[in-house]
Structure 1
Amino acid sequence: MRLGDGGPGPPVLVTLVTLILILCNNEFVRADKSKSYSMQTLCKNHFLQQLYRKIDGAVLWSQNERNLDCVITFQTHSILQRFMLRFDGLQLDCNDHLFIYDGAHAVGTYKFDLSCKNTKQTLGAMFTRTNYVTLKYVTDNWGTDTNGFKLVITAVKDPKHDCTEFRCNLREFCIATDLVCDGINHCADGSDESSNNLCQNNDTGTILGLEVTWFVVVVISTVLVLLVVIVAVSVCACRHGSWNNRHGNSVQQQNASYSLAQMYGSNGHMPVKPGGGSTTTLADGGMLHATSGNWCHPAGPQGFRTHPARGRPYCPAG
């Protein structure tokens, strides 16, 4: 059986796999717009710590990390954007410091030095002038579980630039559409999370409790598995039928060879040449002469042997 005859061929399977990958990739890219980071994970000593992370929005969590001294840099996707920073929670130990730099490196004069004297109410929303922000977090070896912060970072575009995505109400900043209705207040005035038509449409975009994208992925994956099972069963059935045909033909050929041997290979029967012809000839007026084999004499215990002709004495009548 060929896959093109009655079964789904490789182009169908490749198309389904490609569609699943595209849907998954789109879902991951969409979710990648708003990230959630743990300071404990970001501050691990490996090469990823030195990368510039391009984001549209992110949430940084900190809870009683000890003996940290790390630097993290974020970058906007566009040079026309800058960062807005806002704390949803802030309670640092007096020996811990969070330095905020308006730039791509933790050098020069920092913009803010946050410690135990700062609260989220007194700080409000903070803005950078560049499209970079660098955080330097330094902690000691002591603290409690109440120490830490929750920092919301959002890439915003000023009202003077054209906004093709979502425009906040109060300050009229433009933010990425994927940050809207994600459960995080990116506009600082709550307009991106208000109960407007956009959020209601996002809430209704589910099927059987799943988002539309993931529902399509599940359906296509199920169909793909069923097609693979059907192809496997069809291939096994075809192989089984081919084996039966070959086995039946060999049995028939074996039976046919036995019949020929019984007809031509036994004692007292006519031998057959390899080419299919007989070794007997007709001569002397139709008398049958055997040139080989055992046409006239049966084989003895040691096989057939030809005896030389003996002359008979001639005795004339007296």
Structure 2
Amino acid sequence: MALSWIHNFLLVLAFTYVRAATKDISMGYYCSPGGNRVDISDSDAGDLYWGSYPALEDCAVSLVAAVGKRIFLQFTDISIRGTNSDCEDELFVKSGSYTATGTTVPTDGSWEKVCGTFHQDFDAHDHHVTLKLKSYQNGGGRIRIRYTVYHSAHYHGCDGYTCLRRDRCIDDSLMCDGVDHCGDNSDEEFWSDGGCGVVEHRQWLKKVAIITGCVGGVLLLIVVTYICYRRKKRPATTRSDVPMETAARLANSGPPQVAGGGSYSPPPSYDEVVKPSPPPSS
């Protein structure tokens, strides 16, 4: 029973380590007219969604990644009333954070307008990106936007996977998961150099290394625990391997008795046996 529990624990630990850190964010939950910041520094990718937004909605949500990272957005499933030329409802997106000065829809050129059922990918080139939704009389549309956190492979190097046709370094746990995180699908193609074949082999080796290390650690812990238990149970002894209680009793019982009822006396010393010869007479 104990071994089965340890086996399951190690498998869960290995799976947790190698899988991508993802985070799904409900835009309706974080919705605020003045803007609401959502920390995504602990994730590599995720979805920003709103299943059915209400009418007369006005809110903004800002995604904030770790410093030095960048955010890439893909509008995977949107249905916002109207077309780009005539939007009944409007979703705006921009790089950077947002602080509301009122409830009016932003009109400056830093915002990109989104409506209809399709929109091109949006690369924030920043660790902040803000989305602002403005619905009017109808509402009822849906929004699902995939975000991917990356950094520049050109300026910072890449210890994960560099997208083939773009300067993006993504975590290699995002590769070969059935999702196009690069925007050019290179992270899902079976390239011989750095593609899915290489990465799947690398992830398999990583799983084996993690499981081996965990099993070795558990076995070492069991051995150390057993040794400590045996040392605790072993009785204390003197140097002559005589129990301490016996040694103390013998020390307090006086000289040892010999057969016949007499007591044992130590032999005379050398000086007592060999007497000094008298000085020579003159």
TM-score, structure 1 as length reference: 0.50
Q: Supply the distance in 1 between the matched residues of 2:244 and 2:64 (Cα, whole angstroms).
A: 75
1:149 and 2:156 aligned: no
Amino acid at match of 1:192: D
Once the two structures are TM-superposed, the CA of residue 109 in structure 1 deviates from its matched residue by 3.1
Tell me: CA distance 1:177–1:75, structure 2 relative to 1, closer, same or farther (3 Å). Answer: closer
Q: Supply the distance in 1 between the matched residues of 2:122 and 2:72 (Cα, whole angstroms).
A: 6
Q: Supply the distance in 2 between the matched residues of 1:150 and 1:173 (Cα, whole angstroms).
A: 23
- Show the 5 A alignment for 1:98-177: 98-106=91-99, 108-109=106-107, 111-115=111-115, 118-120=116-118, 123-128=119-124, 132-137=128-133, 148-154=142-148, 165=158, 166-168=162-164, 172-177=165-170
Q: Supply the distance in 1 between the matched residues of 2:41 and 2:225 (Cα, whole angstroms).
A: 46
Tell me: CA distance 1:216–1:65, structure 2 relative to 1, closer, same or farther (3 Å). Answer: farther
Unaligned 5+ runs, structure 2? 1-12, 83-87, 101-105, 264-282
| Paired residue secondary structure (1:86) | strand
1:187 and 2:182 aligned: yes
Once the two structures are TM-superposed, the CA of residue 75 in structure 1 deviates from its matched residue by 5.1
Any conservation in 1 of the 2:73–2:145 contact (CA below 8 Å)? yes
Q: Supply the distance in 2 between the matched residues of 1:139 and 1:244 (Cα, whole angstroms).
A: 85
2:47 — aligned with what? 60
Q: Which has the larger radius of gyration?
A: 1
- Show the 5 A alignment for 1:1-318: 27=17, 31-32=20-21, 35-39=22-26, 43=30, 49-50=36-37, 53=40, 58-64=45-51, 69-74=59-64, 78=68, 84-92=72-80, 97-106=90-99, 108-109=106-107, 111-115=111-115, 118-120=116-118, 123-128=119-124, 132-137=128-133, 148-154=142-148, 165=158, 166-168=162-164, 172-178=165-171, 179-197=174-192, 198-206=195-203, 211-243=204-236, 248-251=243-246, 253-254=248-249
The alignment of Structure 1 onto Structure 2 pairs a total of residues equal to 221
Tell me: CA distance 1:216–1:135, structure 2 relative to 1, closer, same or farther (3 Å). Answer: same
Q: Deviations over 1:80-126 (max 9, x none)?
A: x6x543212113478975331233225553623445xx102xx2233
Amino acid at match of 1:72: S
| Paired residue secondary structure (1:134) | strand
Once the two structures are TM-superposed, the CA of residue 176 in structure 1 deviates from its matched residue by 0.8
Q: Supply the distance in 1 between the matched residues of 2:217 and 2:151 (Cα, whole angstroms).
A: 44
Amino acid at match of 1:202: V
Structure with more relative contact order (C-alpha pairs < 8 Å, separation 6 or more): 2
| Paired residue secondary structure (1:72) | strand
RMSD: 5.0
Q: Supply the distance in 2 between the matched residues of 1:51 and 1:156 (Cα, whole angstroms).
A: 17
Structure 1 stretches of 4+ moved >4 Å: 51-57, 65-68, 75-79, 92-97, 127-131, 137-140, 154-159, 161-165, 244-247, 255-263
Unaligned 5+ runs, structure 1? 1-22, 264-268, 271-318
